[in-house]
Structure 1
């Protein structure tokens, strides 16, 4: 969608968001468009609201919206309160972000580990495969956290019947047993207000580079789906500590998505 600079290397753009659309993936690097789309990921917005949050004049916002609509990234419908106006919404999902600043220069072998045929851990090869793909993407500055979160949610929905229990204590015990049985890590309950889970030997991030940011989007998605099913309402699993942040464990706080509960450190 951006035409400035050499193909594939937009001038002055440090981050590019990738969106799925009915017509395929679309790259969005323009800062104004990224702000607009970030707002639309939260909820639908009227044209006037978009003008206010973007900080641009109406004519500029109109051009951006028209071009994003033509690219299949946004759609619109008549405002029920005023048919002369429109309400704008996303037509796809954020897949990931490409960021030059987030590229890592470390050798893959530093994080991929060594796999030996006939290793005692039957899951070692699959861990190596997952880890290798993640590190290769990070070397290119490609962050697919939104996509990994959705993949985790799908798996969590399928897993839920196998670990479900009406009591939270037994439910958490079942999750911990599943994680251990499948060599995903060791899960402990560290607190109840909010419900806090610690994961040691995390399969998703234990050997990833230390970036200072949480890296367990896949686990977050699984836990979100599991606890949403358990509580019967949308529930988030917010990662506040991670191996990739320099800790020796991952820490998730399970809170309602309406904002209940406070995040700790």
Structure 2
């Protein structure tokens, strides 16, 4: 049977296994996702590493031991990814969710799991044929030069892995899109916050018509938050030549609704559920 929309595993399979980890990505691939969505940052020594937050979060990470005896930066949780080396980041346990939320209930822990590098994720995903949807975690406070350096580092990893043709770069900070080489897909993320009047997220483009602005920024796709996704938005994006990937959709009825709207992809924390919902009975 033909799937009615692409299935993208959000942070791997966040509802099932720890987010942005190799076990989570492996499970998402086993469930047959069309694309693995993930988040990346850049370490102090220039390595592209996985992680949703620019500052290490106690929700998903725990300190174990310093990278070397007497390291003055230890403990590392609560510090910025950009201020820590790969060796320091590797000491963190990323395998257990440490908050009493819905994901802690449905997510199977994988104690001892470490933060992976993007290169390691590429090695895992390459044989599968799945695409990579790589979100670069920046914000408008970053200098343009730092954004450009980050984009170049991510592009280099994907090229080295031979995955450029199967990769797209995602960002709320649309300067990432303007810096991304045209061999990659370029996905304009939007939510209410980034579309507020006077926003600094859209690379200087106006927020009143996000579809036109995304196209002007060089996007090949639009990825709206599910709460702001309407049939009109999907139609406008398609008229502008942009595919639409709706995030993050964890209810089967919502999945069916967005497919009816014409969405090209559904981004979900529960790819097992979505795999059942996105194929015709």
TM-score by length of 1: 0.30
TM-score by length of 2: 0.29
Greater fraction helix: 1
Q: Which has the larger radius of gyration?
A: 1
Which structure exhibits the higher relative contact order, with contacts defined as CA atoms closer than 8 Å and separated by 6 or more residues?
2
